[in-house]
């Protein structure tokens, strides 16, 4: 291609009233890329990350600087987003990224340009950070299988659950990140005897007596608990309803299959 002169580039990129004391070396030289000092969340503020960076060393004194922050959601494979920050020349720059997803990791990079330059710096090295955690917002989908009573009157209750998620993926996150599950149960007529188990699995087995029981399961993380999923386990003396009979039938069939 044709090598253009600095004078031609200057006249065509800048209007006639551009101050004549601007050196063309500043118009065409790139800065060194900025250095990201930190990308961090602010406790108690959701969907936000604060980015702080050190300005490039080679900048024109008394000129405004434009820095472009590039950020990407690492969960969704979504397109890259950008925000421009116009700053007076100083050593440290800062910008807030808002409207982000809860409990989600982001990758951030920055480049800068002087108001009198035509070339951006290279992109900085990227940094990663996660937004503020959000308590799980949806209750788990909970069901149970009741085995027939043992000779001593006790019975095993198998609890199983799954985490409710929305579709399509673009609707993420329907709930916060889950660290574990809290299972609470007590005799229906005596809530003072409430017991609590913690599990990281999506299933557990409870050994209950012949009384009716109330059972609840909640998902939790560092920000709090999900709404409770609650079910009632009937006493052994109650008449067999269709759903209860199915549980007993399912339990007997499972034992038969396992023993064959």
Average pLDDT in the 156-160 region? Answer: 95
Among residues 130, 165, 180, the one where a domain terminates is 130
Q: What is the pLDDT of residue 39?
A: 96
Q: How many CA atoms lie less than 13 Å away from 98 in the CB half-sphere?
A: 3
Report pTM: 0.61
Do 148 and 224 reside in the same domain of the chain? yes
Do 73 and 149 reside in the same domain of the chain? no
Average pLDDT in the 54-75 region? Answer: 78
Do 102 and 203 reside in the same domain of the chain? no
Q: What is the pLDDT of residue 257?
A: 46
At 11-48, the pLDDT tens digits run: 444 444 444 444 444 455 567 889 999 999 988 888 99
- The distance of Cα 71 from the centroid of its chain, to the nearest Å, equals 15
pLDDT averaged over every residue in the chain: 78
Average pLDDT in the 218-232 region? Answer: 92
Average pLDDT in the 133-158 region? Answer: 86
224 neighbors 207 (Cβ within 8 angstroms): no
Cβ-proximal residues to 177 (8 Å cutoff; 6+ apart), any chain: 103, 133, 221
Q: What is the pLDDT of residue 229?
A: 95
Nearest partner of 132 among 100, 107, 163, judged by Cα: 100
Which structural domain, as residue segments, surrounds residue 233?
Answer: 141-259
pLDDT of 243 over the 80 cut: no
Query: Distance of CA 40 to CAs 63, 69, 79, 99, 131, Å?
Result: 28, 14, 21, 15, 8
Nearest partner of 69 among 113, 114, 110, judged by Cα: 110
Number of domains in the chain: 2
**What is the 3-class SS of the chain, one letter each residue?**
CCCCCHHHHHHHHCCCCCCCCCCHHHHHCCCCCCEEEEEECCCCCCCEEEEEEECCCCCCCCCCEEEEEEEEECCCCCCCEEEEEEECCCCEEEEEEECCCCCCEEEEEEEEEECCCCCCCCCCCCEEEECCCCCCCCCCEEEEEECCCCCCCCEEEEEEEECCCCCCHHHCCCCCCCCEEEEEEEECCCHHHCEEEEECCCEEEEEECCCCEEEEEEEEECCEECCCEEEEECCCCCCCCHHHHHHHHHHHHHHHHHHC
Do 78 and 108 reside in the same domain of the chain? yes
State the pLDDT confidence band at 237, using cuts at 50, 70 and 90.
confident
Bridge partners for 183 per DSSP: 197, 217
Does residue 150 lie within any of the structural domains?
Answer: yes
Of 67-71, 98-102, 153-157, 176-180, least confident by mean pLDDT is: 176-180
Do 183 and 117 reside in the same domain of the chain? no
Q: Answer with the residue of higher pLDDT: 167 or 196.
A: 196
Does residue 1 lie within any of the structural domains?
Answer: no
Among residues 107, 130, 153, the one where a domain terminates is 130
State the pLDDT confidence band at 170, using cuts at 50, 70 and 90.
very low
What CATH code is carried by the domain that includes residue 193? 2.60.40.10
At 90-122, the pLDDT tens digits run: 678 889 999 998 888 899 999 988 777 788 889
Do 121 and 159 reside in the same domain of the chain? no
């Amino acid at each position: 291609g044709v090598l253009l002169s600095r004078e031609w580039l200057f006249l065509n990129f800048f209007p006639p009233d551009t101050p004549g004391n601007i050196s063309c070396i500043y118009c065409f030289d790139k800065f060194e890329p900025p250095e990201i000092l930190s990308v961090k969340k602010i406790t108690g503020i959701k969907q936000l990350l604060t980015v702080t960076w050190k300005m490039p060393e080679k900048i024109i004194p008394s000129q405004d600087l434009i820095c472009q922050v590039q950020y990407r959601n690492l969960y969704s494979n979504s397109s890259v987003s950008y925000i421009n920050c116009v700053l007076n020349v100083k050593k440290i720059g800062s910008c807030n990224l808002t409207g982000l997803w809860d409990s989600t990791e982001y990758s951030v990079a920055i480049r800068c340009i002087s108001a009198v330059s035509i070339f951006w710096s290279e992109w900085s090295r990227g940094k990663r950070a996660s937004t503020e955690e959000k308590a799980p917002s949806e209750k788990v989908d909970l069901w149970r299988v009741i085995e027939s009573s043992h000779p001593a009157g006790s019975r095993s209750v198998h609890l199983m659950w799954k985490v409710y998620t929305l579709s399509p993926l673009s609707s993420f996150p329907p709930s916060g990140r889950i660290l574990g599950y809290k299972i609470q149960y007590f005799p229906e007529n005596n809530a003072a005897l409430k017991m609590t188990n913690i599990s990281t699995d999506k299933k557990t087995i409870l050994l209950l007596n012949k009384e009716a029981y109330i059972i609840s399961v909640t998902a939790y993380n560092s920000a709090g608990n999900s709404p409770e999923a609650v079910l009632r386990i009937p006493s052994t003396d109650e008449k067999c309803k269709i759903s209860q009979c199915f549980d007993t039938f399912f339990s007997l069939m499972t034992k038969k299959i396992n023993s064959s």
